Structure 1
Amino acid sequence: MIQSEKLKEHARRLRLYNIANRMDSILHHAQEEKPTYSEFLSLVLGTEVEMKERKDYERRLVAVRLPRKHDLDEYDYNFYEGIDRRQMKELRELVWFRETYNLILIGPSGTGKTFLAAGLVFDAVKAGYKAYLMTMEDIVNCLRLKDISTPAMMTYNKILRAQLLAINDIMLFPVKRKEATAFFNLINTLHEKTSIIITTNKAPTECVETLNDEILANALLDRLLYRCKVIKFYRQ
């Protein structure tokens, strides 16, 4: 018992808290199974790695703030029109994402764009990547406040570190010139470093009207449409 407590204290001082918390069960398993030294060491270290990876996954999943419907295993191909099972399988393999391609999902409200975007972010998080889903409004507010608000700057830095960023409802409402410029600068910074998913109910050419700046809109489209797949959704 004394030796067990000493081992727990050593583990805590080394910040191996998962090993410390499960020390009794680890030692009991060793007494029952009598593993070799290497097997026992693998069990001990594997316990810490497994729990840390699980907590990291849970932390990243909470940070994403996904909508209730985000598991693409539940995607209803009879309800949504625009993508078939073969296309879905290809998208969920994440090859496009690893090669830093973008996706633009276009269609009316209620056609499954957000569901697909959230689902692909969820798949990326499960695969161990830093992926986030944000609305255009969230991003504009972040850019507007980042120089005067610590939480906004933290969100901004999170975006810069993202490997996949899904932007929901882009250009749903008109954007002021200053905000549009800040948004372009962000996309330009992420260009060829971060894969971007865009959901929108507007055709790319309509961005000109929303931004009210043809040169800026064309420059933004140039970044987003570079190495990009466009998927159109329809109402049934």
Structure 2
Amino acid sequence: MASLEALPILLKELRLSTIGKCWEALAQQALDGQWLPQQYLAALCEEEVNERYQQRLKRYLHEAQLPAGKRLSHFDFSAVHGIKANQVKALVEQPQWVKQAHNLLLFGPSGIGKTHLACGIAAGLLEKGFRAKFFSATALVQQLQQAKEKLLLAEMLLRLDRYEVLLLDDIGYVKKSNQETQVLFELIAHRYETGSLIITSNHPFSEWGQIFEDNMMTVAAIDRLVHHATILECQGESYRRQSAMNRRQN
């Protein structure tokens, strides 16, 4: 039987660093509370699991690069029509759609909070243990285009597979050029039924001919996106415009 003095070494070998920090304090608490051995063991495991969860969430939030402050708890659902708070929150509380590699598409005019909603949903999914990554659509397309020029597009697409959710913000601002629309289509085709996309757009599908080079590519891209998708159509006044009007009135 190992000696008590060897316990810190054994815990370090097993990479149970949190238990290594708290076992003595919990041992005294267990003695004072007359815990069963199983209760003491369960408490130690709970501390370890909770700390690992917090560290993992911290890593996921850092790599996701979500804009600061955009959480569902900060969103004013009363200012946006066409969506309901329980409908949006269900996308976080019931994330089967992510496990099934389904998509989420948010449409609506500029300034009503589509990005805020998308980021809030992504943040909630991070807390559920999913990995996500935020991109402005134009920035990601440029990165994909540069990778293709270096013959590294396939490699980059595979690297993006580590994220169960990719958030592409403002897809309508992608320039209609052969190089950019080709890599955007390749991304959509690559993620089809393998990983989820959350996409925000100021333009309805009827105007996506402004994004892709030809009608065939437009139809093919939309077909892949909507085959397994939840579509939210947001309506309302631009909060940025309203804020500007309020400042002028004051």
Give your verdict on TM over 0.5.
yes
Per the alignment, do residues 159 and 175 of structure 1 end up closer, same or farther by CA in structure 2, a change over 3 Å counting? farther
Query: Counterparts in 2 of 1:119-138, with a 5 A limit?
Result: 119-138=120-139
Indicate if the aligned counterparts of 2:27 and 2:40 stay in contact, CA closer than 8 A. no
Residue 196 in 1 paired to residue 183 in 2? no
Per the alignment, do residues 45 and 84 of structure 1 end up closer, same or farther by CA in structure 2, a change over 3 Å counting? closer
Distance 1:49 1:146 in 2: 39
Corresponding residue for residue 64 of structure 1: 64
Corresponding residue for residue 118 of structure 1: 119
Query: Counterparts in 2 of 1:104-183, with a 5 A limit?
Result: 104-146=105-147, 156-183=157-184
Q: Deviations over 1:109-151 (max 9, x none)?
A: 111111111111111111111222221123223323447699x
Unaligned runs of 5+ in 2: 238-250
Per the alignment, do residues 25 and 4 of structure 1 end up closer, same or farther by CA in structure 2, a change over 3 Å counting? farther
Deviates more, 1:191-200 or 1:87-96: 87-96
Distance 1:53 1:85 in 2: 27
Indicate if the aligned counterparts of 1:65 and 1:133 stay in contact, CA closer than 8 A. yes
Unaligned runs of 5+ in 1: none
How many residues align? The count is: 233
Corresponding residue for residue 17 of structure 1: 17
Distance 2:86 2:42 in 1: 40
Q: Deviations over 1:32-66 (max 9, x none)?
A: 23422222222222222221122111111221122
Corresponding residue for residue 26 of structure 2: 26
Corresponding residue for residue 225 of structure 1: 226
Give, in angstroms, the shift of residue 70 of structure 1.
2.4
Secondary structure of residue in 2 paired with 1:211? coil
Q: Deviations over 1:179-233 (max 9, x none)?
A: 3222222211211122221101112232222222222222111111212232222
Q: CA RMSD in A?
A: 2.7
Q: Deviations over 1:60-99 (max 9, x none)?
A: 1221122223221232123223312343344343354444
Corresponding residue for residue 55 of structure 2: 55
Secondary structure of residue in 1 paired with 2:124? helix
Indicate if the aligned counterparts of 2:209 and 2:218 stay in contact, CA closer than 8 A. yes
Per the alignment, do residues 61 and 182 of structure 1 end up closer, same or farther by CA in structure 2, a change over 3 Å counting? same
